[in-house]
Structure 1
Amino acid sequence: MVRTSILGSVVSLVLAAAVSADWFQFRGPDGQGVSAAKNIPLKWGLKKGVAWKKKIPGKGWSSPVIGQGKVVMTVARQEGEEVSLGAVAIDVQSGEFVWNRDLFTPGAAEVRKRHSKNGLASATPYLDGGVAYVHFGHMGTAAIRLSDGEVIWKRVFKYPPVHGTGSSPVVVGGKMIFNADGASDPMIVALDQKKGEVVWKTPREQKVKKTFSFGTPLVIEVGGRTQVISQASGKVAAYDPADGKEIWKVLYGEGYSVVPRPVFANEMLYVATGFDRSSLLAIRPEGAAGDVTKSHVVFREDRYIPKTPSFVEKEGYLYLVDDTGSLTCRDGKSGEMKWREKIPGNFSSSPVLIGDKLYLATEDGVAYIARVTHEGCEIIFELEMEERILASPALIDGALFLRSEEHLWKIGG
């Protein structure tokens, strides 16, 4: 049997212990929202159990990432008609700013091209080798030295956006890779990690009515070969990070505005297909080459599948919360729904799983913890955080970090 694994995450139990201190990309070390962090709080208040609460100098829905004792986020600031896009780093222990860097000043026309729910700083940074890679879609991309915020390089890769930007980057094989799925000519792009120059760009070549999507790639390994899994309108495909060539693809009709990040487990890749009605596909990537829509899709499910939040997997079961608060458990091999629990509120933030505890937050700012197994679900904690939450949580041993509309919270620690 061909061995499959997630790259950039844990490849052994020894390495798992070593990397669990950092949360260096969207959805954590493995990019899939499952954490090995220890001693995460199971309850807190608006003051009780909060190590610090820091006012963020700007707006944005990018999720926090953590490395070298710093929490990094992107921000957008507006003074009159002028908008600046930048990044900030906050000391994990003290909650004080380490650096605060302005990077880009987009024009008024670029700023207007976004959905009312979206912000101008929605893509989550990626930390690698002492560098923070930050991305604002069509408005700019930069590499910043993590220690002091000094700019290493900046680049603007233009494409016509729809509803703004949301795709977070990944770093693999010396390249920073991101999706550029806008109003026309959608593609996936790789920049040189050290210089910011375009290494390759691969057109989607998929005929769909609406070409815009907001997915974040996932790096996996199949049979010893690295693959970048990237979703677009109408299809999910695997790309070779060395040259951008498409390895295989699965088509899903007119699905567009895809947001949830893929999940790779049980030797299968799980993807949600976006609007107007989202479906969950389970795909077997082993041996896949070319169009494998008819040969490698194991199952398809159409009920209670998220359009915005990503989902998690543990011990052969998937846990999904859809945009309207339906929390479900599905068998990872068959897709069979084991149970459904309705949580009040709407969701954009992606949940995080620690052991059997699922941490969630509604758009209105209600934080929940649910104890989940394949047998059922129990809500064990609920707190109104008093600000909207669309960003996803970040974790390190002993502490939970939540970004609300105006603040970053460190809970525990």
Structure 2
Amino acid sequence: MKFPLISCVMFLCFAFALEAVSADWPAFRGPQGNGVSEESGFATSWDSDKNIIWRTPLPGPGNGSPIVIGDEVFLLCAEDQGQKRSTICLDRADGSQKWIQTVNYDKIEETHKTNPFCPSTPASDGEHLYVWHRSAGMHCYKLDGTPVWSRDLGEFHHIWGGGPSPLLYKDMVIQLCGPGERTFLIAFDKKTGETRWQSEVEPGGSASDKGRYVGTWATPSIVNVDGKDQILCPYHTRVVSYDPQSGKEINFIEGLHAEKSDLCYTSLMIRGETAVILGGFRGPGFAFKLGGQGNTTESHRIWHTGDLRNPQRIGTGVIVDDFVYMANADNSGSLECFSIKTGEQTWKLPRSENGPHWASMVFAEGKLYATGQKGTTTVFEPNPEKLEVVSINKLGEDCNATPAFSNGEIFIRTGAAIYCISDKALAKK
């Protein structure tokens, strides 16, 4: 099968693909961090009774996504209002629990009811598991659950809770800490947990100031510019590029500041030398050319959409060829397609059966998968001229987590359970 070009940069291959086998889904948004699976054999239709291999109840809800390493599935889950924050390992064959490691936190941290505690996704290099528990620290485990190291980074406060997930790069773990007044990027040594470097604090906020909200829930990305790797980190008003070895700021692009609020939920979407970032709460979005030094807003920004013209965006879309496909978090659950070159919309479905989308979109075997808060996944073709729906699949449970795709199986985490979905389900019974 011939796949469209998703990114000439292959922007996270250094972070994940070198250390993960092809069937693994080792971190948020997959092997390359772009929501793309290059495997085949995935189901395009299912419901609560069809193509379900197993369903495992979870001790609490969560927005953090599952990852898959070999024969095991990993995810985070909280209990007791976040005072127990657990890393759970399941057997991918039947969904049974293999081990659990719980971090106790004796305070009730702030968050929003739609963003339960443990909203991050773990990351793995195939040997260890890296987990961000926000105020309860950063933790490393062996894949058998043995603790390796932990770091206490202090408390993080925001009335809407957390979200960023770990990014693995060579021998480092990169974590965007925040949102809140203490928002910064930090690099840990993968083996010891020691700090390699830490960026300056990006001024933020923990609560509303006269109706204005500020914060970033994005996960950073790795890009290669002129033969050198860079970390791209979306903050609430700008995107900053860092040298991954030193943590030194290389350049930044402004454009996420909005009249009402400065918010960023989506991660970057990258193709070739172009990146796209979208603001939250109907804020602006823009595309920019990679590279440059210092403030490159004027020289490298390609297009910019105005304030309050956009739908709410929380999950990240996927770029196929020269077009961005987005599943939006507005109440109507709209789907849309727009040009990466101009930002102009080519089509929009104003309302879907999915409801608001918080999960990020996934592209697999030539199909796009958009999962909404109602637990409904719309599968459709990547056609920039019109929406071509393949199927609409209902689980009947709320869902904010991004699915994991591995070796012909789809893993969907809902508010009550995690599912393993495959059209080979009947053969396994």
- Using the size of structure 1 for normalisation, the TM-score is 0.91
**Structure 1's 305 and 356: CA in aligned 2 closer, same or farther, altered over 3 A?**
farther
Per-residue Cα deviation, 1:77-106 (whole angstroms, up to 9, x for no partner) = 22xx7821111111122222221111x211
2:249 maps to which of 233, 236, 246: 246
1:326 maps to which of 324, 334, 352: 334
2:383 maps to which of 338, 359, 373: 373
Match of 1:169 in 2: 166
Match of 1:5 in 2: 9
Match of 2:192 in 1: 195
Rounded Cα–Cα distance in structure 2 between residues aligned with 1:256 and 1:136: 24
SS of the residue corresponding to residue 297 of structure 2 reads coil
| Percentage of matched positions with identical amino acids | 26
Instruction: Please tell me the residue identity of whatever aligns with 2:142.
Output: R
Rounded Cα–Cα distance in structure 2 between residues aligned with 1:274 and 1:377: 24
Rounded Cα–Cα distance in structure 2 between residues aligned with 1:355 and 1:332: 22
1:72 maps to which of 48, 71, 74: 74
Per-residue Cα deviation, 1:27-68 (whole angstroms, up to 9, x for no partner) = 111111121121110111212211111112333221011112
> Is contact 1:138–1:165 with CA below 8 Å preserved after alignment?
no
Query: Structure 2 stretches of 5 or more lacking a match?
Result: 1-6, 206-211, 425-429
Rounded Cα–Cα distance in structure 1 between residues aligned with 2:152 and 2:300: 37
Residues 149-158 or 324-333, more deviating: 324-333
Match of 2:101 in 1: 101
Rounded Cα–Cα distance in structure 2 between residues aligned with 1:48 and 1:181: 40
> Is contact 1:306–1:320 with CA below 8 Å preserved after alignment?
no
**Structure 1's 82 and 398: CA in aligned 2 closer, same or farther, altered over 3 A?**
closer
SS of the residue corresponding to residue 135 of structure 2 reads helix
SS of the residue corresponding to residue 340 of structure 1 reads strand
> Is contact 1:305–1:321 with CA below 8 Å preserved after alignment?
no
Query: Structure 1 stretches of 5 or more lacking a match?
Result: none
- Deviation, structure 1 residue 220: 1.2
Match of 2:146 in 1: 150
**Structure 1's 96 and 227: CA in aligned 2 closer, same or farther, altered over 3 A?**
same
**Structure 1's 401 and 136: CA in aligned 2 closer, same or farther, altered over 3 A?**
same
> Is contact 2:334–2:356 with CA below 8 Å preserved after alignment?
no
- Deviation, structure 1 residue 337: 1.3
Rounded Cα–Cα distance in structure 1 between residues aligned with 2:178 and 2:242: 15
> Is contact 1:312–1:318 with CA below 8 Å preserved after alignment?
yes
Match of 1:339 in 2: 347
Rounded Cα–Cα distance in structure 1 between residues aligned with 2:58 and 2:316: 25
Q: Which has the higher strand share?
A: 1
Instruction: Please tell me the residue identity of whatever aligns with 1:404.
Output: T
SS of the residue corresponding to residue 5 of structure 1 reads coil
- Deviation, structure 1 residue 392: 0.4
Aligned residues: 399
Match of 1:256 in 2: 262
Q: Report whether the alignment pairs 1:33 with 2:38.
A: no
1:316 maps to which of 301, 314, 322: 322
Instruction: Please tell me the residue identity of whatever aligns with 2:42.
Output: I
Rounded Cα–Cα distance in structure 1 between residues aligned with 2:32 and 2:372: 23
Match of 1:123 in 2: 120
- Deviation, structure 1 residue 170: 0.3
Match of 1:352 in 2: 362
User: What's the Cα RMSD here?
Assistant: 2.3
> Is contact 1:144–1:151 with CA below 8 Å preserved after alignment?
yes
- Deviation, structure 1 residue 210: 5.0
Rounded Cα–Cα distance in structure 2 between residues aligned with 1:26 and 1:270: 18
- Deviation, structure 1 residue 212: 2.5
Match of 1:141 in 2: 138
> Is contact 2:378–2:391 with CA below 8 Å preserved after alignment?
yes
**Structure 1's 261 and 410: CA in aligned 2 closer, same or farther, altered over 3 A?**
same
> Is contact 2:335–2:349 with CA below 8 Å preserved after alignment?
yes
- Using the size of structure 2 for normalisation, the TM-score is 0.87
**Structure 1's 154 and 206: CA in aligned 2 closer, same or farther, altered over 3 A?**
closer
Match of 2:50 in 1: 48
> Is contact 1:8–1:29 with CA below 8 Å preserved after alignment?
yes
